[in-house]
Amino acid sequence: MTRTYGKMTSTYMYGNGGNPKSWDKTPRTYEIKWPDGKKVLWKDITVRDCLTKYENMNPYENGLMLREITGKELQLQKIMDSK
């Protein structure tokens, strides 16, 4: 029996134009948290750039945590930045 669900097709990955559709180019805000409690915000960065930058920081050896800031927390952050 062949599964028809859960498979990635070349149409999904590359669309009609040959470029991967899986990378979203929307600028987002991410928080990097260090084991000692230090937090760093990366603002207006794409997913691809964020992951590249994060991987270059040696996250597993340094114990870093990455998360996207969204929703009400992002709105509050924008208000705090504007003041």
The pLDDT value recorded for residue 38 is: 94
Stated pTM of the model? 0.67
**3-28 pLDDT, tens digit each:** 444 444 444 445 555 555 566 788 99
Q: What's the length of the chain?
A: 83
Contact yes or no for 30/74 (Cβ under 8 A)? no
